[in-house]
Amino acid sequence: MTHSKKKVLVTGAARGIGLSIAKTLAAKQYELVLLTSNGVSADALRRELLVEETKATVFPLDLSDRDAIADFAAEWTEPLWGLVNNAGICKTFGIQDVGDDPFNDVLATNLEGPYRLTRGLLSRIERPGRIVNVASQLGREGRAGYSAYCASKFGLIGMTKCWAKELGASGITVNAVCPGWVGTEMSFKDVDRMAAEQGVSAERFYAEVCDPLELKRFNTPEEVANLVAFLLSEDASGITGRDWMMQTVWNQQ
Ligand X SMILES: NC(=O)c1ccc[n+]([C@@H]2O[C@H](COP(=O)([O-])OP(=O)(O)OC[C@H]3O[C@@H](n4cnc5c(N)ncnc54)[C@H](OP(=O)(O)O)[C@@H]3O)[C@@H](O)[C@H]2O)c1
Identify the residue among 30, 51, 56, 64 touching ligand X (CB under 6 A). Answer: 64
Residue 201 near ligand X by CB under 6 A: no
Tell me the three state secondary structure of residue 100. Answer: coil
Of the two residues 14 and 26, which places its CB atom closer to ligand X in the complex?
Answer: 14
Residue 184 near ligand X by CB under 6 A: yes
The size of the interface with ligand X (CB under 6 A), counted in residues, is: 29
Nearest to 137 by CA among 156, 164, 159, 163: 156
**At its nearest, how many Å lie between ligand X and the CB of residue 58?**
10
**At its nearest, how many Å lie between ligand X and the CB of residue 238?**
25
Q: Residue 185's Cα: distance from chain center in Å?
A: 14
Identify the residue among 6, 9, 10, 16 touching ligand X (CB under 6 A). Answer: 16
Give the separation between CA 113 and CA 63, rounded to whole angstroms.
5
Residue 63 near ligand X by CB under 6 A: yes
Residue 186 near ligand X by CB under 6 A: yes
Identify the residue among 8, 9, 18, 143 touching ligand X (CB under 6 A). Answer: 18
Identify the residue among 120, 129, 145, 179 touching ligand X (CB under 6 A). Answer: 179
Give the separation between CA 199 and CA 71, rounded to whole angstroms.
47
Q: Which residues inside 83-142 make contact with ligand X, applying CB under 6 A?
A: 86-90, 109, 134, 136
Give the separation between CA 36 and CA 58, rounded to whole angstroms.
8
Q: Which residues contact 152 (CB under 8 A, 6 or more apart)?
A: 88, 106, 107, 109, 110, 111
149 is catalytic: yes
Of the two residues 12 and 155, which places its CB atom closer to ligand X in the complex?
Answer: 12
Query: Quick one: 87 exposed, middle or buried, by C-beta within 10 A (0-12, 13-18, 19+)?
Result: buried
Q: Which residues inside 33-62 make contact with ligand X, applying CB under 6 A?
A: 36-38, 41, 62
Q: Which residues pair with residue 58 across a beta bridge?
A: 34
Residue 66 near ligand X by CB under 6 A: no
Contact predicate 90/114, CB 8 Å: no
Q: Which of 30, 146, 149, 206 is catalytic?
A: 149
Give the separation between CA 88 and CA 204, rounded to whole angstroms.
27
Residue positions annotated with a catalytic role: 149
Binding site for ligand X (CB under 6 A): 11-12, 14-18, 36-38, 41, 62-64, 86-90, 109, 134, 136, 179, 181-182, 184-187
